[in-house]
C-alpha cells in the first residue's frame, strides 16, 4: 500500500469533525418549511408575471392572424373565381339595361293581370276575356278549318284552306318547341286550361295566341276579299287577343310582342312555301283515301 494513502486515512481518523456526532456540521443546513413556501410563492409570482404578457399578447395576435387568413382567402378566391362570376359582379351596360327592362316587364305584366282570378279587380269581366281568348286557341281554329274544308266545293277555297291548315300546324309546333326550350313561366301562377294542354301551350314565351292571331289575320286579309269594317275588326281582334292573355296573367308583355313577331314570320314562311292547287288536291285525296286525281 502506498505511504500517502495510509497517511490520509490516519488523518481522517484523527479528525474530530469526522466523528458521528459532528457529521451534521459538515453538511449544508436544511431549509425550513416556511422558507420553502416563501420561495415557492416567489417563483410562482415571477412565473405569473412572465405568463401575463404572453396571455395578453395572444388575444391581440389572434385577430391579426384571422385578418391575415381572411385576406389570404379573399386573394385565393379572387384568383380562383371564374370569369363569368367576375362579369356578374361587374355587369356591363348591356346587362344592366337588360335586367332593368326585364324587371319593368315583370312589374307591368303583374299589374295588368287584372282578370287572372275571380277576386281580381276586373274579375267581373273575366268570363268575357276568357271567351275572347278561346277564339284564338289552335284546336278551335284547326277544327273550324277542317269543317270548312269538308264543306268547300271549289278548288280555290280548298287551296286556301289546306294552306291555312298547314300554317296552323306549323304555328302550334313551332310555338310549342320554343316554349319547351325557354320554359318561361307567366307573371301570375295561373294553371293552364284543357285546351292549353291539348295545344301544348304550357309556358309563357312566346304567346301562342298572339302568334296564331297575327298569322291568321294576316293570312285572311291577304287571301279573302273582305269589307273595310271586317278588315278593321280582324286587326282589332288580333290585337285584343294578345291583350287578353296579359289580362289573364298568362303572358308577359314581351311574350305577346314576340308572339306577334313570330306569327308574322309564320305567315311569310307559308307564303314562301305556298302549295299549289294540285298539291292540295293530292293531300285531300290522301286524307279521304281517294286516288282519283292520279287516274285523271
Task: Enumerate the active-site residues.
Answer: 209, 251
Beta carbons of 126 and 113 less than 8 angstroms apart: no
Cα(19)–Cα(231) distance, rounded to whole angstroms? 145
Closest by alpha carbon to 217, among 253, 256, 266? Answer: 266
Beta carbons of 174 and 99 less than 8 angstroms apart: no
Kindly give, in sequence order, each residue whose CB lies less than 8 Å from that of residue 57, ignoring residues fewer than 6 positions away. none
Beta carbons of 172 and 213 less than 8 angstroms apart: no
Kindly give, in sequence order, each residue whose CB lies less than 8 Å from that of residue 73, ignoring residues fewer than 6 positions away. none
Beta carbons of 167 and 219 less than 8 angstroms apart: yes
Question: Please, what is the angle between helix 208-223 and helix 228-247, to 10°?
Answer: 180
Closest by alpha carbon to 254, among 82, 146, 75, 112? Answer: 112
Beta carbons of 251 and 245 less than 8 angstroms apart: yes
Cα(141)–Cα(137) distance, rounded to whole angstroms? 6
Cell of 253: 308583355
CB atoms within 10 A of CB 201: 26
Amino acid at each position: 500500500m502506498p505511504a500517502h494513502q495510509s497517511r490520509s486515512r490516519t488523518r481522517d481518523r484523527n479528525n474530530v469533525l469526522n466523528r458521528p456526532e459532528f457529521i451534521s456540521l459538515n453538511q449544508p443546513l436544511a431549509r425550513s418549511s416556511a422558507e420553502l413556501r416563501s420561495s415557492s410563492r416567489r417563483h410562482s409570482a415571477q412565473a405569473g408575471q412572465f405568463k401575463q404578457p404572453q396571455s395578453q399578447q395572444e388575444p391581440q395576435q389572434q385577430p391579426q392572424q384571422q385578418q391575415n387568413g381572411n385576406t389570404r382567402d379573399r386573394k385565393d378566391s379572387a384568383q380562383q373565381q371564374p370569369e363569368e362570376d367576375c362579369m356578374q359582379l361587374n355587369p356591363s351596360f348591356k346587362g344592366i339595361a337588360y335586367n332593368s327592362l326585364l324587371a319593368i316587364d315583370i312589374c307591368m305584366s303583374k299589374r295588368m293581370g287584372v282578370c287572372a282570378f275571380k277576386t281580381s279587380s276586373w274579375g267581373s269581366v273575366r268570363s268575357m276575356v276568357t271567351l275572347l281568348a278561346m277564339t284564338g286557341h289552335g284546336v278551335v281554329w284547326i277544327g273550324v278549318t277542317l269543317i270548312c274544308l269538308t264543306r268547300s266545293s271549289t278548288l280555290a277555297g280548298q287551296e286556301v284552306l289546306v294552306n291555312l291548315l298547314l300554317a296552323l300546324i306549323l304555328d302550334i309546333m313551332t310555338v310549342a318547341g320554343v316554349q319547351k326550350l325557354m320554359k318561361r313561366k307567366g307573371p301570375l301562377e295561373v294553371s293552364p286550361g284543357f285546351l292549353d294542354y291539348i295545344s301544348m301551350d304550357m309556358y309563357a314565351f312566346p304567346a301562342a295566341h298572339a302568334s296564331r292571331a297575327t298569322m291568321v289575320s294576316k293570312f285572311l286579309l291577304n287571301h279573302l276579299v273582305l269589307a273595310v269594317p271586317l278588315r278593321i275588326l280582324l286587326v282589332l281582334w288580333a290585337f285584343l287577343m294578345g291583350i287578353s292573355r296579359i289580362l289573364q296573367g298568362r303572358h308577359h308583355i314581351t311574350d305577346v310582342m314576340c308572339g306577334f313577331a313570330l306569327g308574322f314570320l309564320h305567315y311569310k314562311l307559308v307564303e314562301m312555301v305556298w302549295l299549289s292547287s294540285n298539291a292540295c288536291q293530292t293531300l285531300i285525296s290522301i286524307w279521304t283515301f281517294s286516288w282519283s286525281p292520279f287516274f285523271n
